[in-house]
Amino acid sequence: MKADKYYLKIKDITRHGKNIFRVECESETVLPKIHAGQFAHIKVPNKELRRPVCVYRNTEKTITFIIANVGEGTDAFTSLPKGAVFDALLPLGNGFPILPDKTNIALLGGGTGCAPLIKIAEDNPSLNVTALLGFPDKHVKDAYGDDFDKVCKRVCYCTDDGSCGYHGYPTDLLTELAPEVLYVCGAPAMMKTAREYCKKLGVIGFASMEQRMGCGVGACLVCSVRIMQDGKEKLMRACADGPVFPIEEIVF
Ligand SMILES: Cc1cc2nc3c(=O)[nH]c(=O)nc-3n(C[C@H](O)[C@H](O)[C@H](O)COP(=O)(O)OP(=O)(O)OC[C@H]3O[C@@H](n4cnc5c(N)ncnc54)[C@H](O)[C@@H]3O)c2cc1C
Ligand code: FES
């Protein structure tokens, strides 16, 4: 589907922990269908280049983002007050494929990498979904409230400091699961571990690659991902060919 520009108004913005923001927005016009894993390219104040952010949840006229303030662009954006209006190009990217006849699903997310995963469960209520979600601490986990609990069969929260749920990484618990399909988004180390797990157990895996981006629409090649297909390595664009790729094809 072609992306269009939408004007979004910030209805609520809450900070969680040091630098995580939950940004609830509303649109005057009806938003298009957005698939799990697709993203918005957001215009941030005083920056030429837009910033890519996945769509966490949405309805016809509301959309929520979970954003880490990590630099100038995200700092300017998360400093916007309630009521501010910004524009976003959406929906962009391919999103996570939902495979027919595969109902036993696991989600593996870390930090803001949990955000693109929830719509897999929310938009496909017939799936049997277990989520393994990792955060630095309880405050960051709180940005998601109990949203995952409402749509997943089982959720395991993990924190690096032990302040909530399992004390350790979500990848520690992967071997306790036997999903048919694993969907992943997070730090490269997490994705690498997930790829090895999928290879070893013959699990189908898909990962969302949150590369640094420029144009966001396939023209600048800033977002290249190394992909191995048929024994040959090639570069693919996270924005236009991804951001979701079969995990066994990604060269980390
Ligand atoms: C498809 C996609 C979906 C994304 N979804 C989200 C999301 O839901 N929530 C969210 O918080 N972020 C998300 N990101 C990452 C987000 O786009 C970047 O953090 C943001 O563009 C950084 O802009 P900045 O100007 O604040 O930081 P910059 O000043 O550009 O960079 C600050 C620091 O962040 C690092 N950085 C920049 N871009 C990235 C990146 N893509 N991945 C990792 N590190 C980066 C830089 O190397 C630098 O160290 C997503 C990225 C992609 C490609
Ligand atoms: S960001 Fe320009 S090609 Fe992907």
Residues 240 and 148 in one domain: no
Closest by Cα among 134, 17, 107, 13 to 64: 13
Q: What is the span of the domain harbouring residue 74? A: 4-92
User: Residues 78, 26: one domain?
Assistant: yes
Same domain, 122 and 202: yes
Higher pLDDT, 122 or 217: 122
Mean local confidence (pLDDT), 190-214? 96
**Is a pLDDT exceeding 80 seen at residue 244?**
yes
189 and 108 share one domain: yes
What ligand has the least distance to the C-alpha of 93?
A: 1
CATH number at residue 118: 3.40.50.80
The answer to whether residues 102 and 170 belong to one domain is yes
Mean pLDDT of the region 198-214 = 95
What is the spatial order of strands in the sheet that 181-185 belongs to? 166-167, 154-159, 128-135, 104-110, 181-185, 204-208, 244-246
Choosing from 92, 114, 136, the residue where a domain stops is 92
Q: Look at the chain and report how many structural domains it folds into.
A: 3
Cα 219 to averaged position of ligand 2 atoms, centre (Å): 5
Query: Which protein residues touch ligand 1 with a CB less than 6 Å away?
Result: 39, 51-54, 66-68, 70-74, 93, 112, 115, 210-213, 238, 243
